[in-house]
Structure 1
């Protein structure tokens, strides 16, 4: 290899610049080099990699034969971030995990590695899953300000163009993204390269070689080494000079198209180590291969293409078989190696059935995706249906399809395998799989037919229990017979309890029974939730938590999450925060990102109601970042952005949160999930300004009523009716209790939260009467007992408002207490609203040198009197908003002040700081720093 990189000074500088920005800012950066074969892209990547300071360096390379093999290119990355098997449930290798788990586990592993350099070579051949993993890591680093520098190179193909465009969309800062089109070397650089390779060469000869090579560094070096004047001739000449052993090793490496060790090559060829080492040595001396005994490979793709083109037809299948056999022996259960072996088996013309069945049973089969699933299906369709391997392949395809959500394919292959499998228990298992797939497709008649088949072929307990659980789900979700569904779920759980208590079952049977037991409890849990049977919901949740540990970590964490759901509905928010929090922490530790989003969402919502606003905000930021990394997938029964927006309503810019919630309504297609957003907007806007926001409240209530009818969920409709009654009462509509079921009009002991809200609504309707004041005071006691400190702030403001006509001093004290409590929690919006009421009553609301003024120094030198410590807390708040570019009307709306008050404060601020205008005010660094806290989360 040449010691000096010639003719690429500008490219090195451009790539070095983005790497330098990444190092200086702690933000991710991407350098992308695109150019034809032979222009020195790989060499440029190596050179820039040597100049970038990094704590962790990982190099990924795409190989042409492996471009359809999941995670083939990412193997070095997965090896670098290998974690202890106890940390990641599901197997010792990260590649065994389902895709989204592996992506998140990889991110978490490199997150603490410091400065990470990731180089990606031959992008045009990199498999899609590896590219998706790199995108995930880049997206995560962008959200979390991680120092990830990515240097990539590829040929000008449509695939590379798509990857480049996606990188550019992710990194929009031009100082952290550069895309270079690599051109051939100019004549002067090309001649310099020739002189380095052939010292003393005649200038005319150097110019001639540069011209023949077309400026390609690779071909210049090849011709200089061979002494010939032909591009093809120079390579062909080197190949003709090889002895038979060296030629065979080179052909084997070309067919493999991936690095191979001397030991592996010797095994494939059945050679002695010395014979292999001799052949490899001659190839290395001829410049045809690179690497050492642990990783030999063809020196360049252009050489490999020439070698493959000239391999005799009778030798080619034998070489593919050698490679396939080696990979099969190495792979154990590594699906990417097995899939590469399958490609070689097909290239050799061998029957792929046995290997396809092995792949379909491998733990990493989820990685095959839709394309792999189609390939396996084609192999199964062409096989002898009675071949045991074909039956196992059908079963594996069905299970992969079910994992991927391709319920049509799952139904076809489960049904086919169920009919032909020789074991009755396996027939029942696959019939149950077909039933679940049919249910997912809405084919209720077919679902029941497959359930009947499962029961007919086997009466073992776990089959009976699973069939009952699926039947219960049909009743609950498809036929909306909630009472019947709950009864059947309970019955399935009772059968499971008796079966698990039987001491004669084997460990394998017990494991299957426990999973069936949990499935039955899930059905009963859904039924209790739909029928609003909170006592049953609480009991089932406890039972899940008790038995789930024997079913594995994921099952236990899911049970904790369900416990959070139950305690939240029971109004036990402290317990809900604890259970959700444990599930969140465990899901993060064990790389279960979907469950982490679900549980994190529940935890932040509970923390918010408990008045732990700053904790809720911090958790919301983590959940939002994780949800964004996942690409914001649809998650059953959870819409994370709504509670995240709710945190912003209290702790950020409430106007931004309202706008985001309104956009969420437009983006959401399911009326069930729109319903809660309409309700949140209606209640919040009625609390912020019952007069000015009355029309908006009416509009959101009307939208919610439409969606409540469309959703067809009795419990959600009842909850909407209760909270809508509060919003209606605030804007003067007498609809107290409208839509609230009679069962909710019970004692505080049975339904404490609903009881408190009903009493609160009665107090709002009563004005300043003795009864209203008593209702509001008693509600405050109930909310405090439940730990709902944030709701208690709103209640204090309502109580103070009701007191105003009777005792102005008591009203002022009530507002002041609400302001103080809200401020201590970090609930800025509620604090500002309470302060607004205090100002309306003529009470003082600001404190000079309050918390906001502490630690703020002076602005840049030259700014007149930039000592902002002379400002009051309110003045600091307004000065910071001005420095951030907000107009007076925007500041007034955000801080609940009149425009005239804002104008007065701005004038006072300019006078105190001896400034002439808002531009000079915005130049003070200390004020701009005050507005660095984001006013929204997740966007």
Structure 2
């Protein structure tokens, strides 16, 4: 019983159809299970639909080939020779495709050619609307392919992707923070009471009472599918019945009722489909149900007529919703379920290629421990090779948790889990698994040391866990004494100077040991991994280190470690001020990390890129990008810390001081020993800047004291570039001249043999603050570094006329530094000098003026009129006038409406 019309989705449908009509376009349709994504996209005429499956398998691109195979009649353009590479994948189009090209002998090159061929084939299809449902279940290869196609999107392609945010691996639709140029985001939310009432009336074709609609909404939470199933179960719109029915029970009863009215063979096919879990053809269902294909075909038709099964993929049949499938599955007696899982595993294991994840799951549920172990391990290995670390880690954790797995197998699986864990994002899940393994009596002492090392390596990524992680690593080293490469891996982490507030000398002890052992490392991937730490540490301590020439990467693990090396080098160079080198290595590292499936490395690279964009003055959309990445990588403390730092800097420049304080605090100001040292030191500099802007120099000087203590304790003076000048300024504001001189001397001494352009520019600012030299010297240094914001701030120190300040205000506004622009104009207004003419300024009518935009942004952040006045250097009266204009122009009655 479904609605004959689309209910409550007028705005979403209009947005969807408008976006699809304006090719090239990409539409992301987001919504929870059962909210109506499939129903919405079904309104698109002439679209080609493909479905991702819930059991992700490492065989990539399947959903794309499924769609393209149904498009033979759409080929209108001339096919290039490269599309011949698709012959093995698209037998439906074999008679239309050019000959298969010669093999290239390089998997990466073969994949690139395949991607190009798919894009060329799509281009040849002319106007095409492609709908891919449930992208949250897509394999990593499909995500990479979609990113490739969308980077240079065919001009007549409209792509629609549906997904459930809660099931997205890593929290992003296409595997990492990626937003196509022509994209639209449609969010489907549960229906309100009126929407539920409309849906119930459309299903029943007659009115229902308000009481019934209210109770129905309460019982179903407004989820359209549950509304439909509940209506089917009740058959009578009586609110009194709704009071006695639990929605899951009614769904279960409805499905059982449907099955009970069908022949025995049809129920058997329904049970086979429920156990199989993914849409299957007649041949597969018949083999699992042990029926002839003819009888299976007849039974499947009965199931389709009864609404038990649907045809989500052409010639394949399954349940239209997980709740329906689970209802049938849970109704099966244990022995029957086990029997069907056994048959499913046998049927699927005969396919080529074998869907390893599915077969492994069926073996597990059938009680075939050894077969589960074999297929599960193969699936995890294949997933890692395909760059799908998420699936690999899920499989490995499940396997080592099984009590019946023998000790030797647990040792092997635990070792692989340790190798894979640092690639993925499953921080809490993997940490808990390592802790359980350490208590597992099946684990050998040697592998126990490996697991403890792995636990330490994971913990140093987590918030408030760096000290514990370092301790776990140190405790693991004795158990690994005869495995020198693993010992060096642990030492290399202890050598990283930015972890904790331990003095540099302590890190140097470990670093020298790693450098001494490095020449004896024979395994290329291990050597690259160690080099990633050594080179990064040396750059932080010394500056530029010359050419980076790592070993050749000729396998997936080497490629992942090489990606980490390049990104470590890029991040380290970005902290000391060698920005051109940082950008160079970042491009290579990010590309390698994306192609090799290393989401953690991608996260660190994206955070570095965000910070480089801030420094370069590329602030447009920066806060939103940083916010989105923070949601994806919230459990990875080094990444989240760097993103919070940038957001704090940006919020300070834009007057959102509450947000700035929150962001700076989240880097670890209250517990620097648990933070990422350069980011914490920079955050202290940010807090000093913020407090000086708020005219609280005493508090600023106190923050400077704490930051200076951390910097001196660490002894890595290259990290003073975002702190020292701010601290000296604060000391001078409160008359602590001796402290300003002392910090400047320490800073200068610490940089004697360090090639750190950012720190040297900051040192020049310190000297200018003390009157040793002109601000023109550091201004030029920052100009050479390509930091327009710092250049403008120093130019402000040199400004002498209202015209100079007005020019700077324009520069600040172009960057997005609204507070700085407001300060310049405030100085002009209060200096008594001539104010530059603003004749010819446009009238804004019902649009917000630039100043009103600034006020509206701070209003939306929850700031009071007094706070806004302080941030923008305005009077309270002026802010009140702006607020009134904003409310009138936006058509809202109160400031609370702006927050909602």
TM-score norm. by structure 1 comes to: 0.63
Counterpart residue number, 1:155: none
Pick one of 473, 489, 493 that aligns with 2:514: 489
Aligned to 2:765, what secondary structure does the other structure show? helix
Q: Structure 1's 521 and 272: CA in aligned 2 closer, same or farther, altered over 3 A? A: same
CA distance in 2, matches of 1:600, 1:446: 33
CA distance in 2, matches of 1:176, 1:584: 48
CA distance in 1, matches of 2:298, 2:192: 51
Counterpart residue number, 1:893: 870
Question: Is the contact between residue 8 and residue 195 of structure 2 (CA under 8 Å) also seen in structure 1?
Answer: no
Aligned to 1:453, what secondary structure does the other structure show? coil
Counterpart residue number, 1:836: 826
1:756 CA drift (Å):
3.8
Asked whether 1:376 is paired with 2:361, we answer no
Question: Is the contact between residue 53 and residue 115 of structure 1 (CA under 8 Å) also seen in structure 2?
Answer: no
1:892-912 Cα deviation digits (max 9, x unpaired):
434335668x59x97xxxxxx
Q: Structure 1's 452 and 30: CA in aligned 2 closer, same or farther, altered over 3 A? A: closer
Counterpart residue number, 2:160: 116
Counterpart residue number, 1:528: 538
Pick one of 568, 574, 578 that aligns with 1:568: 574
Question: Is the contact between residue 573 and residue 786 of structure 1 (CA under 8 Å) also seen in structure 2?
Answer: yes
Question: Is the contact between residue 397 and residue 417 of structure 2 (CA under 8 Å) also seen in structure 1?
Answer: no
Q: Structure 1's 433 and 293: CA in aligned 2 closer, same or farther, altered over 3 A? A: same
Counterpart residue number, 2:477: 448
Asked whether 1:256 is paired with 2:276, we answer yes
Asked whether 1:50 is paired with 2:9, we answer no
Counterpart residue number, 2:742: 738
CA distance in 1, matches of 2:846, 2:335: 80
1:645 CA drift (Å):
3.0
Aligned to 1:118, what secondary structure does the other structure show? strand
Aligned 1:185-334 pairs, distance under 5 A: 214-215=234-235, 238-239=262-263, 252-253=272-273, 255-256=275-276, 258-265=278-285, 291=311, 294-297=315-318, 318-330=339-351, 332=353, 334=355
Aligned to 2:740, what secondary structure does the other structure show? coil
Aligned to 1:848, what secondary structure does the other structure show? coil
Question: Is the contact between residue 389 and residue 597 of structure 2 (CA under 8 Å) also seen in structure 1?
Answer: no
CA distance in 1, matches of 2:110, 2:197: 37
Unaligned runs of 5+ in 2: 21-26, 70-84, 87-106, 116-131, 209-229, 238-253, 460-468
Question: Is the contact between residue 87 and residue 590 of structure 1 (CA under 8 Å) also seen in structure 2?
Answer: no
Q: Structure 1's 655 and 103: CA in aligned 2 closer, same or farther, altered over 3 A? A: farther
Counterpart residue number, 1:694: 697
Question: Is the contact between residue 360 and residue 397 of structure 1 (CA under 8 Å) also seen in structure 2?
Answer: no
Aligned to 1:116, what secondary structure does the other structure show? strand
Question: Is the contact between residue 823 and residue 873 of structure 2 (CA under 8 Å) also seen in structure 1?
Answer: yes
Counterpart residue number, 2:213: none
Question: Is the contact between residue 560 and residue 580 of structure 1 (CA under 8 Å) also seen in structure 2?
Answer: yes
Aligned to 1:14, what secondary structure does the other structure show? coil
1:326 CA drift (Å):
1.7
1:694 CA drift (Å):
1.5
Aligned to 2:162, what secondary structure does the other structure show? strand
Unaligned runs of 5+ in 1: 35-40, 121-127, 152-166, 191-209, 218-229, 421-426, 456-462, 500-512, 767-771, 801-809, 861-867, 869-875, 907-916
Q: Structure 1's 561 and 812: CA in aligned 2 closer, same or farther, altered over 3 A? A: same
Counterpart residue number, 2:730: 727
CA distance in 1, matches of 2:601, 2:286: 47
Asked whether 1:848 is paired with 2:869, we answer no
Q: May I ask how many residue pairs the two structures share in their alignment?
A: 760
Q: Structure 1's 189 and 434: CA in aligned 2 closer, same or farther, altered over 3 A? A: same
Aligned to 1:625, what secondary structure does the other structure show? helix
1:143 CA drift (Å):
13
The two structures, once aligned, show a CA RMSD in angstroms of: 6.2
Q: Structure 1's 70 and 135: CA in aligned 2 closer, same or farther, altered over 3 A? A: farther
Question: Is the contact between residue 681 and residue 710 of structure 2 (CA under 8 Å) also seen in structure 1?
Answer: yes
1:49-76 Cα deviation digits (max 9, x unpaired):
53367967565787xxx8xx8999x996
Aligned to 2:686, what secondary structure does the other structure show? helix
CA distance in 2, matches of 1:553, 1:251: 44
Counterpart residue number, 1:642: 645
Question: Is the contact between residue 438 and residue 451 of structure 2 (CA under 8 Å) also seen in structure 1?
Answer: yes
Question: Is the contact between residue 722 and residue 737 of structure 1 (CA under 8 Å) also seen in structure 2?
Answer: no
Asked whether 1:681 is paired with 2:691, we answer no
Asked whether 1:793 is paired with 2:792, we answer yes
TM-score norm. by structure 2 comes to: 0.65
Select the structure with the greater relative contact order (CA < 8 A; seq sep ≥ 6): 2
Counterpart residue number, 2:465: none
CA distance in 2, matches of 1:332, 1:349: 22
1:697 CA drift (Å):
1.5
Q: Structure 1's 428 and 303: CA in aligned 2 closer, same or farther, altered over 3 A? A: closer
Does 175-184 or 833-842 show the bigger shift?
175-184
1:640 CA drift (Å):
0.8
1:682 CA drift (Å):
0.6
CA distance in 2, matches of 1:142, 1:560: 24
CA distance in 2, matches of 1:106, 1:473: 34
CA distance in 2, matches of 1:374, 1:337: 16
